[in-house]
Amino acid sequence: AYQGDKKFNVVAEKRTYLLSANIDDFAAFDEPGLWWNDGTAASPDWKKLDPYTQRSLRDQFPRWMNEDSDSPLRYVQEGDNLQIDPMPNTALSEGFWGFYIKKPKTMTSPSHYPFSGTTTEITIFTVLDDAIIDYVRWKLQHPLSKVEKGIIAEKDYDKSIAERIELFKRRLDISANNARMRGPTIGC
């Protein structure tokens, strides 16, 4: 529910894209990252772009800002800016495909649930309900000048979130690794 993917347009010779203009509910890139269609709309050929930081891109490719446009290979995401290197040499409708973590929805009514921002509850997150309440109790103690209660509330929150993480890890779709302990057979 909190993972998404969206395709957006490639503009020829354009290096910087605003994420907020192309993926309006973007919070961060998810593990699959950003992909580029090196084919056509009718016959796509998706290639994964490598993520970089500004510094690592500058260190490894000192002339990256002066490169000619070509098929993109790398990207840098800083805040709302998404920089593509090299710049695309062609325009293509829905030529980028981003896999990302969605921003949480705003709760605008007392009947709304955290995470969905609607009256529909996302059941996977129900294990976090008590942790959210403990977090709010902890954060409200300082403004109310109740420092000692704040220290206790922080410990309650830390304990609560640790317990919830353990519950979350019990989900097989999150914790299972089909490749675990399946290295090459030795001596057979």
Q: What is the pLDDT of residue 187?
A: 52
The owner of tokens 């800083």 is: 78
Domain containing 93 equals 3-102
| 95 and 157 both lie in a single domain | no
| 20 and 75 both lie in a single domain | yes
Could you give the CA distance from residue 31 to residue 49 in angstroms, rounded to a whole number? 12
Residue 155 forms part of a structural domain: yes
Q: Is 49 helix (H, G, I), strand (E, B) or coil?
A: coil
Q: What is the pLDDT of residue 179?
A: 43
Residue 112 forms part of a structural domain: no
Residue 71 forms part of a structural domain: yes
- The dihedrals phi and psi of 184, each to the nearest 5 degrees, come to -65, 145
Q: What is the pLDDT of residue 168?
A: 64
Q: What is the pLDDT of residue 108?
A: 82
Ranges of the chain whose pLDDT falls below 70? 1, 115, 142-145, 167-188
Residue 91 forms part of a structural domain: yes
Residue 78 forms part of a structural domain: yes
pTM: 0.66
